[in-house]
């Protein structure tokens, strides 16, 4: 059986991608941001997920004002980086996982969430920047550490889905993953945000108090967070702050009670408040995070104990 072991929230500011691509990560402005992801990259290397589901938004790269699906699942074998105006980012093509993606599409659609199925799709900074933040810089000719299933959410043209709809979709995705027969450790990313507004009289708006309360509720009281209406995001977090509803898909796919493994918040990156969180499900099943490599020589009972001990997170916080 496949299982979701953890959820990751991360901002997707495009200038972070440009800083990586242009070798500026050691400059003080950028180092402040990248140093907040060092522990997360170590966690990711240790966790070694078999697959990542990345909930993200397209910024008129694969879709446009002519056609914009509310929820679009990438079922293709690969997703090339999109040209966002200055050529595609120098990152590897993202490899998909078509069999699990098709299984999720079937399960979720039969559960009455009407996804669009994408068998060909390019992916923009909304997806590749959070992947870089968690997996580090990956050479264009190398491979991302695991296959990825993209789930694109419309947060660019009114009306986006509600936070509650996103949260419920997360639950349906979890059910889909858990009914997939292969033994896979899956992580799910919720991306975008946190507070920011890019244009208009409120351009530059950042609301740290709102962002921190969002992270607190995401961790401890997601049901309350799922009830927050669009207008609150717009007023408190700015027009582009609505991207934050995507984090609720990730949260819906986790247990009600989770362990907060890590949190990072800094202001600003470009126009945006950068937020990041790692939330782990408490281990219930056989395969330990990081695979079987050490546990294999032990009897199943011992293996369970070791998996539980290893997956117990050290609470590392940075705010």
Q: Which residues are catalytic?
A: 125, 196
Residues near 199 by Cβ (< 8 Å), separated by ≥ 6? 239
Residue 165 touching ligand DHB (CB under 6 A): no
DSSP 67: B
> Least distance from C-beta 1 to ligand DHB, angstroms?
35
Tally of CB atoms within 10 A around 135? 19
- Binding-residue pattern over the window 230 to 249 for ligand DHB, x denoting contact by CB under 6 A: ----------x---------
Query: Is the distance from CB of 3 to CB of 177 less than 8 angstroms?
Result: yes
Site for ligand DHB in 113-152 (CB under 6 A): none
| Measured distance CA(102)–CA(100) in Å, rounded | 5
Residue 271 touching ligand DHB (CB under 6 A): yes
Query: Is the distance from CB of 46 to CB of 289 less than 8 angstroms?
Result: yes
Stretch that binds ligand DHB, among 98-106, 203-211, 265-273, 284-292 (CB under 6 A): 265-273
| Measured distance CA(80)–CA(75) in Å, rounded | 13
> Least distance from C-beta 94 to ligand DHB, angstroms?
18
- Cβ proximity to ligand DHB, 87 vs 181, nearer residue: 87
Structure tokens at 141: 């000719």
Q: Tell which one of 12, 103, 263, 276 touches ligand DHB (CB under 6 A).
A: 12
Tally of CB atoms within 10 A around 57? 24
- Binding-residue pattern over the window 19 to 48 for ligand DHB, x denoting contact by CB under 6 A: ------------------------------
Report angle CA 38, 247, 225 to the nearest 5 degrees: 125
- Binding-residue pattern over the window 181 to 220 for ligand DHB, x denoting contact by CB under 6 A: ---------------x-x----------------------
Q: Tell which one of 212, 270, 310, 316 touches ligand DHB (CB under 6 A).
A: 270
Residue count of the chain: 319
H/E element, 186: strand 185-191
Residue 16 touching ligand DHB (CB under 6 A): no
| Measured distance CA(291)–CA(39) in Å, rounded | 20
DSSP 83: B
Q: Tell which one of 47, 61, 195, 272 touches ligand DHB (CB under 6 A).
A: 272
- Cβ proximity to ligand DHB, 15 vs 53, nearer residue: 15
H/E element, 247: helix 246-252
> Least distance from C-beta 173 to ligand DHB, angstroms?
23
User: Residues in the site for ligand DHB, rule: CB under 6 A?
Assistant: 12-15, 59, 196, 198, 240, 270-272
């Amino acid at each position: 059986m496949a299982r979701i072991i953890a959820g990751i929230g991360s901002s997707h500011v495009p200038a972070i991608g440009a800083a990586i691509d242009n070798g500026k990560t050691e400059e003080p402005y950028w180092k402040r941001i990248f140093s907040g992801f060092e522990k997360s990259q170590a966690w990711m290397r240790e966790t070694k997920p078999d697959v990542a589901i990345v909930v993200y938004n397209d910024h008129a790269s694969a879709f446009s004002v002519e056609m914009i699906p509310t929820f679009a699942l990438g079922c293709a074998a690969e997703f090339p980086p999109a040209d966002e105006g200055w050529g595609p980012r120098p990152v590897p093509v993202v490899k998909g996982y078509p069999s699990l993606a098709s299984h999720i599409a079937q399960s979720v659609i039969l559960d009455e969430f009407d996804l669009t199925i994408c068998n060909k799709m390019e992916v923009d900074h909304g997806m590749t920047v959070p992947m870089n933040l968690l997996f580090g810089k990956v050479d264009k000719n190398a491979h991302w550490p695991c296959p990825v299933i993209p789930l694109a959410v419309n947060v660019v043209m009114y009306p986006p889905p509600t936070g509650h709809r996103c949260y419920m979709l997360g639950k349906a995705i979890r059910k889909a993953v858990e009914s997939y027969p292969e033994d896979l450790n899956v992580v799910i990313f919720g991306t975008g945000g946190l507070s920011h507004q890019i244009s208009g009289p409120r351009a530059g708006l950042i609301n740290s108090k709102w962002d921190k309360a969002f992270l607190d509720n995401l961790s401890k009281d997601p049901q309350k967070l799922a009830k927050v209406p669009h207008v609150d995001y717009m007023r408190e977090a700015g027009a582009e702050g609505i991207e934050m509803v995507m984090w609720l898909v990730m949260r819906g796919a986790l247990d009600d009670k989770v362990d907060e493994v890590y949190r990072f918040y800094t202001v600003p990156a470009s126009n945006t408040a950068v937020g990041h969180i790692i939330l782990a499900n408490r281990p219930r099943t056989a395969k330990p995070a990081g695979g079987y490599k050490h546990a294999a020589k032990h009897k199943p009972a011992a293996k369970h104990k070791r998996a539980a001990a290893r997956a117990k997170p050290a609470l590392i916080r940075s705010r």
